[in-house]
Structure 1
């Protein structure tokens, strides 16, 4: 145990003293915020540019009331010029495009005969907006021909907002679902990134020591299994420290942001807020949708999510890091790792895809449940399911399967590791790895 502790301390200190580790620990949250702010700024700048669109309405059905100007789009009526002259003027001038509505009696034929001319490929949002305006007008024209009063149809429209409850009487909401998606997606993505970053870090560390022949000196006094486990735990400790610092920085940023938004975040975090009180809070402070999502995130079982995140972080990390360590021991340089990396990365990527495309849609569906129990995908998929509410028995089964699997994988990886670290000059194959696993010497 003493030797294992020394290896863990050595790996941890070497990692946290690294300049890139220190810089990225404090710089990463700022870079993430900066990137988000840059994207938002560029989107705002893009929206500020006004697009001028001309239309030539030969049908006489459309008017300025249909093509209303917005902040980003201005419409001009070039019907008197005709489509040919309008196209020339648009091509030569500072116009976005020209819309041609021909004179056709049949509304069905007209709907599929309208043309749009532009210098470059038009924006999908612009085209969608034009199609919606045209479809709405042609639909109203058809209803009028059927003798249907449009005013009555407009008056008959009713919006429905279905209130959601579970059988214990606790109220849910669309904002809460969005908050669950954000919390689960963030946790799953962070775990994926941590496994990739620190798992490959273990692999590179093993390759570096192997190529420099330092590892031959180390294994003369330490068992290969202890060395591998020490590297994994040492890197995991550094990862947890970095995660903790990021959490503190993000918490500080959240507090600052909440003060700017005028939300009492400290009060919201004291306990989970019952549904009736939550609704009263929303009505009292007149929060908008974004603020509701923030409140709903804070009303989630954050402590439970945090504890489970730590477990799955460690479980998933140990599981994959042992495989990365085995790969690092089997090869002499990073170029040779490519043939072994893909089988390791596929389950990770599958977990991310299942999480974002299945869990978000149906968190309690059969695919989500199955992949939240498969040990190679459960660290990501289960984390994304937790904010939606998962029974304790499911979580316990998933945890037991993960623990059992990473114990088996660590054992198998250690068998590869103890032989591979002393192998040089030969590019190993899967057949060689199988021989090393079966070796009992």
Structure 2
């Protein structure tokens, strides 16, 4: 145990004293806050107004298009179409909508044309087609003697009031909130595994190529060296995350003070839209209440458990890969099988757990050790029976022990092999030594 603690201490100190580690520890939060501030600034900027020409020979549609913050419409029905197309080429108009005159309303389905130099956005296309279709529908109903005004008055929009069986109010999107909270925990585990697993692998490769490993291995067991590297790198990573969190919070507070954000009194717009504002405030309150009802404390505990199991499982594989090769280029053939389960866990979490958190697929992948650290953490906010969590954790740590044994076998042979890129067949042979 004393030898292992020395290795852990050596790995930890070598990581935290590394210049790149120090720089990224303090620069990363600054970059993150700067990017967030830049995104906020860009999103607050007013978009350039685009001028759209409407050449309406029928005269039915031109009044349906109203100016907005993004688009300004111009009636150019009296201008020659050829000149209008030239105007588009000369950038006088973003585009021109050509609407011919048709006797039969059905003929408008394929007759309307939009001319522009650049492809319009999907939102603009959908909005324009909706306006045209709505006008044609009303015109068609009037031709058939149906009063569209009476039809509008008869229309009733239904908004469901959501409550739980206990009588508590809830809002739309609660499942999205739950999957979001679970996804944050799962994504953190995935990123930690990839970032610091690679760090373990590079450390092994560096010591192997510099031949320092031959001196170290003469006095300690290979499995002690491997576990010392993994644990030492883990502690360095945890320290980095803690510093990121502290620096990030400080920077966000400072940025908030510098921006002078004032929330003490409602704006004129809020007052003019009091019912909508009150409803929004009520929904936000309910959302925060839903988040508070989530098992956040137990999720934090399970996050730590799954993080330890998942990180040690994958880091053992990273260490084995580092021992088997001579440089990072040769690791590519072995990296895909390691990364694939992590990516699969993310996709299963987002596309299956959200719709069926207790379905067969979600349940199975929350039990498979290579995907359970991500999938199970996404399922927990929806309420998972304790026996399923216990079984999942037991399988994860049992697999971790087995993988450590397998990785130690490869590590023991691989750290003394030079000059040849091993194949999968050779790796299997090493397990028999």
TM-score, normalised relative to structure 2: 0.88
Q: Distance in 1 between matches of 2:125 and 2:3?
A: 67
Alignment of 1:179-198 (within 5 A): 179-198=177-196
Distance 1:181 1:32, change over 3 A: farther
> Which residue is 2:73 aligned to?
75
Alignment of 1:157-176 (within 5 A): 157-165=156-164, 167=165, 171-176=169-174
Alignment of 1:13-28 (within 5 A): 13-28=13-28
1:248-295 deviations in Å (ceiling 9; x for gaps):
4455567776995759xxxxxxxxxxxxxxxxxx99896276676556
Residue 39 (1) aligns with residue 33 (2): no
Residue 177 (1) aligns with residue 175 (2): yes
Q: Distance in 1 between matches of 2:328 and 2:315?
A: 16
Q: Distance in 2 between matches of 1:30 and 1:175?
A: 32
Residue 348 (1) aligns with residue 342 (2): yes
> Which residue is 2:147 aligned to?
149
Residue 400 (1) aligns with residue 394 (2): yes
Q: Distance in 1 between matches of 2:19 and 2:147?
A: 73
Q: Mean Cα displacement is larger for which, 76-85 or 282-291?
A: 282-291
Choose from 385, 393, 413 the match for 1:419: 413
Distance 1:22 1:198, change over 3 A: same
Q: Mean Cα displacement is larger for which, 66-75 or 234-243?
A: 234-243
> Which residue is 2:53 aligned to?
54
Alignment of 1:213-232 (within 5 A): 213-232=211-230
Q: Distance in 1 between matches of 2:282 and 2:68?
A: 23
The CA RMSD measured in Å over matched residues stands at 2.7
Q: Distance in 2 between matches of 1:40 and 1:109?
A: 46
SS of equivalent residue, structure 1 residue 80: coil
Distance 1:181 1:250, change over 3 A: farther
Q: Distance in 2 between matches of 1:13 and 1:168?
A: 54
Alignment of 1:108-147 (within 5 A): 108-147=106-145
Q: How far did residue 387 of structure 1 move?
A: 2.5
Choose from 289, 299, 321 the match for 1:305: 299
1:165-192 deviations in Å (ceiling 9; x for gaps):
2x55554422533332332222222221
Tell me, yes or no, if the aligned pair for 1:189 and 1:380 is still in contact at 8 Å. Answer: yes
Q: Distance in 2 between matches of 1:327 and 1:137?
A: 65
> Which residue is 2:9 aligned to?
9
1:378-425 deviations in Å (ceiling 9; x for gaps):
111122222333222222121111111111111100111111111111
Q: How far did residue 44 of structure 1 move?
A: 4.2
Q: Distance in 1 between matches of 2:280 and 2:55?
A: 45
Distance 1:28 1:363, change over 3 A: farther
Distance 1:261 1:80, change over 3 A: same
SS of equivalent residue, structure 2 residue 281: coil
Could you tell me which runs of 5 or more consecutive residues in structure 2 were left unpaired when the two chains were aligned.
265-275
